[in-house]
Structure 1
């Protein structure tokens, strides 16, 4: 397996290019500001979304209703959904990738309500696989195309075969470094820095509507979101979820054992 390529995310953003662009672009400035934190916190903190009234902070756990909940936070401020990619929004919400200087005081003082979401590892693994390699929709998919081929990916052999390849690829990347493994693929305990970040609430995608009512009520926005907004979903996969084989189920449990233990999935 050692000769097969994997794509690894860089651990540091302190590159000459980022330093040169930081004075002119908030994205690069935020990256450098986050370098003050330990490596295992930089990725999670970069995924915080904050409401414009600074009352609610949502830490995006990738492939766990991130787009839908971020859109709700935008609606909370603007009274409408964002018409383009919410993860690039420059108004209506504060994204840590652009506005860490606004989010950091709220985060460090714990003056806003901080929450995140988790998801059943089987469903999340399948979602990551289909988003990148079946629907072919993720903006970062090109980083993983050749490495997945090295591991045996072949569109002609069908989704079940290629999901096995995907699990091999994820396991291989995790063996090298979990922190450099794509946040779309790695265990959720890394994505939310479980045990190192003090959350007010950790909800579940499986109980999303009920959890969102609790979250907004506890954050001081009782009554939001209204019923019709609770059912809105964004960025859903177009591929139906195939039943996993017993061998695939066992493999998912092995790779994501820490998620099963930390978040109580059976």
Structure 2
């Protein structure tokens, strides 16, 4: 079986399913630090040594063994669907990426032409109607997820349950799912369950937000971006995310979960 998106420490202390836009850079750096006593110098997504990743052929056997034997503590991290899709818009659609170019080449010109989305000029620095453009982006995101047109859904705005579920479908079992909104509490609980070569003091860990600064700042409160139609679209796209991970669909202003995640339910519904 394949386990896409899985990272594991070289000490095999902990195994993590990456979910884009859900603190994955910070989690990866914590895992790296817990083995090596220092952070990776650069974007942890680019690291080719110091972590096992399913993308590396030499890591696949050891990851598979740990999944099936449950030799490593397995967890993932999720985020409020409203703030996650907003973050994807400002980072991937409005922002200039680390390579100095737009995300996925001709994606933004296509969105401008077919959906009338404005992104603040060629460098994203010009003022534009963020709410209007975001709501049009939501239509595009729904089209990619519902009908896979005009392209397949991107990992940054496809449902979290889809990412989380690949691990379950292929035979994995989660020991914990934590919330981005309660990150220190959740990550602290994970660290209590594992033995690491180097101790991790979460109070001293910076937030490695690799997308920060890519795009314009959000000019309005989260709830202002979501009218009744936008909320309907978000629910159509992320219904299972709201239900499994206990987020409040009815109130975009409430980013916090409203209940506890039931791991048995997650495994049953995603497996």
Question: TM-score, with normalisation over the residues of structure 1?
Answer: 0.76
Q: Where do 1:166-185 residues align within 5 Å? A: 166-177=137-148, 180-185=152-157
The answer to whether 1:115 aligns with 2:90 is no
From 52, 63, 77, the equivalent of 1:103 is 63
In the other structure, the counterpart of 2:200 is 225
From 30, 33, 50, the equivalent of 1:92 is 50
Query: Structure 1: which 5+ runs fail to align?
Result: 1-36
In the other structure, the counterpart of 2:14 is 56
* CA separation of 1:223 and 1:217: change in aligned 2, threshold 3 A: farther
**Cα distance, 1:166 vs structure 2:** 1.3
In the other structure, the counterpart of 1:240 is 217
The root-mean-square deviation of aligned C-alpha atoms, in Å, is 2.5
Deviations along 1:155-174, whole A, 9 cap, x unmatched? 35432122112111110011
* CA separation of 1:164 and 1:60: change in aligned 2, threshold 3 A: same
In the other structure, the counterpart of 1:152 is 116
**2:129 & 2:179 partners in 1: Cα distance?**
30
Query: Structure 2: which 5+ runs fail to align?
Result: 121-127, 249-271
**Cα distance, 1:236 vs structure 2:** 4.6
The answer to whether 1:253 aligns with 2:216 is no
Comparing 208-217 with 231-240, greater Cα deviation is found at: 231-240
In the other structure, the counterpart of 2:85 is 125
Contact in 2 for aligned 1:87/1:95 (Cα 8 Å): no
**Cα distance, 1:51 vs structure 2:** 0.4
* CA separation of 1:143 and 1:101: change in aligned 2, threshold 3 A: farther
The answer to whether 1:198 aligns with 2:156 is no
- Decide which structure has greater helix share: 1
* CA separation of 1:136 and 1:62: change in aligned 2, threshold 3 A: same
Contact in 1 for aligned 2:139/2:233 (Cα 8 Å): no
- The aligned length equals 224
Q: Where do 1:9-24 residues align within 5 Å? A: none
**Cα distance, 1:186 vs structure 2:** 0.9
* CA separation of 1:233 and 1:167: change in aligned 2, threshold 3 A: same
**Cα distance, 1:223 vs structure 2:** 9.0
* CA separation of 1:138 and 1:263: change in aligned 2, threshold 3 A: farther
For 1:57, what is the secondary structure of its paired residue? Answer: strand
**2:46 & 2:199 partners in 1: Cα distance?**
24
Contact in 2 for aligned 1:217/1:223 (Cα 8 Å): no
**Cα distance, 1:88 vs structure 2:** 2.0
**1:190 & 1:138 partners in 2: Cα distance?**
26
Deviations along 1:110-159, whole A, 9 cap, x unmatched? 21111000100011001111111222227753263244232222235432
Contact in 1 for aligned 2:135/2:226 (Cα 8 Å): no
In the other structure, the counterpart of 1:186 is 158
For 1:185, what is the secondary structure of its paired residue? Answer: coil
